Chains A and B, each alone.
Chain A
Amino acid sequence: MNRFEYARPATLAEAVAAGAVPGAAYLAGGTNLMDLMKGGVMHPGHLVDISRLPGLDRIEWLSDGGVRIGALVRNADLAHETKFARQFPAVAEALLSGASAQLRNAATVGGNLLQRTRCAYFYDTASACNKRNPGAGCDAVGGENRLHAILGWSEHCIATNPSDFCVPLTALDAVVELQGPAGRRAIPLETFHLLPGSTPERETMMQQGELITAVCLPAEAARFAGNARYLKIRERTSYAFAVVSAAAALRLDGETIVEARIALGGVALKPWRPRTAEAMLAGARPDPAVFNRAAETALAGAKASGDNAFKIELARRIVVRALALAAAGTPERVPALPASPFAGAITHA
């Protein structure tokens, strides 16, 4: 790990000023940043500890029914907040399917949004990586890439965004609130993360010094509460990143879908929202043939970036299954194995 100057500003304004210094990074829970610094992947000269900034660790219910989640709320606290989990069950399920209980206790909402890709070549400083070292090339192309992107990738970077939390948030129209040297602004999560194009080193819409203060969900997002699920395929049942995941949420009127929301994880460098597929579902009946057509549409533009053509078919099936699970209704309690296709299906007698 590189040496760094450590500071723990007392106010948001001081934090923003300290974070605007070139080479500065914010430290929240540290579960991603410490890991990357230990590996020499990130080497900030200044570490600006925001973990105790006042006022950012609250879940606020807005008068219009929406919710504002402070950037320092811990992943575990959000997932276990009763009212939140009841209104946004797919978000709670996604959070509980991520990492481990220890990590969720430390990880923050803001840090989760900004966690970096798990591409092994990004982590390995001996490999060429355009994200770490713009212009160096990308060793994942033609390398070990069965877990890489199938949507929105470029030959400059084929990595994926690893966050589970961001997937249902994107489906539910979450908005990210930022505070920076130039003031405050809000950006829809759907457009917050950038596709790689020819500048994979640019990952989000944020500018140096900007700080995430909160993530907001609109009141409308709670209308899906009765039919909202997250489904995550992993290479082991727990404590693993998604190979492919999907959030599905439906608003039903009897046997008719009034509105549908879908987002995919593990497929692109950002949570993927297939809006055309969503639109196809409005007015339709929630049945397998309809879900199949929507899933075909959702993956229509998918293309293997290496040894990962299987992910296209897998993603298609996961969308169908997530929609079917959503149609069947949100369970009373988050399943014993959150977001697992095996939930309730396996026993270890």
Chain B
Amino acid sequence: MGLSITLTINGARRAITLDDPRVTLLDLLRERLDLTGTKKGCDRGQCGACTVLLDGRRVNSCLALALSHDGADIVTIEGVAPGGQLHPVQAAFIAHDGFQCGFCTPGQIMSAIGMIREGQNWGSGAGDDPERVREAMSGNLCRCGAYVGITEAVLDAQRAIAEASRRDAA
């Protein structure tokens, strides 16, 4: 097996040749594809800064071996606002001051998007319970301690997304 893989990244199919099997999905995105929105905090699964959606699910890209995910569909922070229209989670983070320095923010936003999807898929949603939101977001550390704003933003975005899908269904 060669070290050639294909990934769909933010909707675009990319054929990628790796010169080293050790490359993680995070390093592939940042160092080789110039998608530096995804951050490297700990590089060991402990902070959540590197969170991306892999086949629709939030994961830590620092612990994902790129080769192992040949064929996968990846969404990064660069892919959540096509056409420049802010994603509801992004808008809510701005409205609620869900950040200070911003380093953890791409990971927080990708994690929140993943969390809201999980609620829809598994019926395990946090609902309007801030305790459940905090627990579901506990894989994302924020060294600036913007947690209060983050929790409010996630609750608000969740409401906005639910409302929009009700409108669409009507």
Contact = CB atoms under 8 A, between A and B. Distances in A.
Interface in B91-144: 111, 114-115, 118, 122-124, 129-132, 134-140
Interface stretch (A2-10, A138-146, A273-281, A299-307): A2-10
Contacts of A82: 123
A6 B44 CA distance: 21
Contacts of B123: 82
B21 interface: yes
B135 A337 contact: yes
Nearest to A85: B124
Interface in A288-339: 336-338
Contacts of B132: 336
Contact of B63 (A6, A31, A47, A337): A31
A34 interface: yes
B45 A31 contact: yes
A79 to B, nearest CB: 9
A337 B130 CA distance: 11
Contact of B22 (A3, A80, A101, A102): A3
B111 A101 contact: yes
B94 to A, nearest CB: 23
B45 to A, nearest CB: 6
B57 interface: yes
Interface stretch (B6-14, B64-72, B82-90, B160-168): B64-72
B59 interface: yes
B75 to A, nearest CB: 14
A320 B75 CA distance: 46
Contacts of A6: 1, 3, 21, 67
A12 interface: no
A124 B122 CA distance: 39
A76 to B, nearest CB: 8
A95 B45 CA distance: 17
User: Could you say which interface size class chain B belongs to?
Assistant: 35 or more
Contact of A338 (B43, B65, B135, B140): B135
A181 interface: no
A31 B60 CA distance: 9
A101 B54 CA distance: 13
Interface residues of A, number: 35
A119 to B, nearest CB: 16
Interface string B1-35: 10100000000000000001110100000000000
Interface of B is mostly: mixed
Given A51-B68, A238-B135, A336-B132, A103 B45 contact: yes
Q: Which one of B20, B67, B118, B135 has the greatest number of beta carbons of chain A within 10 Å?
A: B135
Given A80-B124, A238-B138, A336-B132, A106 B1 contact: no
Contacts of A35: 44-45, 63
A34 B138 contact: no
A223 B106 CA distance: 45
A128 interface: no
A99 B129 CA distance: 21
Nearest to B50: A102
A34 B67 CA distance: 13
Given A38-B44, A101-B111, A336 B131 contact: yes
Given A102-B60, A106-B60, A239-B138, A38 B43 contact: yes
Nearest to B136: A101
Q: Which one of A34, A76, A102, A239 has the greatest number of beta carbons of chain B within 10 Å?
A: A102
B111 A102 contact: yes
Given A4-B21, A7-B1, A27 B68 contact: yes
Interface of B: 1, 3, 20-22, 24, 43-45, 48, 51, 54, 57-60, 62-65, 67-68, 111, 114-115, 118, 122-124, 129-132, 134-140
24 contacts: A4-B22, A6-B67, A30-B63, A30-B64, A31-B60, A31-B63, A34-B24, A35-B44, A35-B45, A38-B44, A47-B21, A47-B65, A49-B65, A49-B67, A49-B68, A76-B118, A101-B114, A102-B48, A103-B60, A103-B139, A106-B59, A238-B135, A337-B131, A348-B130
Interface of A: 1, 3-8, 27, 29-31, 34-35, 38-39, 47, 49, 51, 76, 80, 82, 99-103, 105-106, 237-239, 336-338, 348
Q: Name the 8 nearest CB pairs between A and B, nearest first.
A: A100-B139, A238-B138, A336-B131, A80-B122, A6-B21, A239-B138, A34-B63, A105-B57
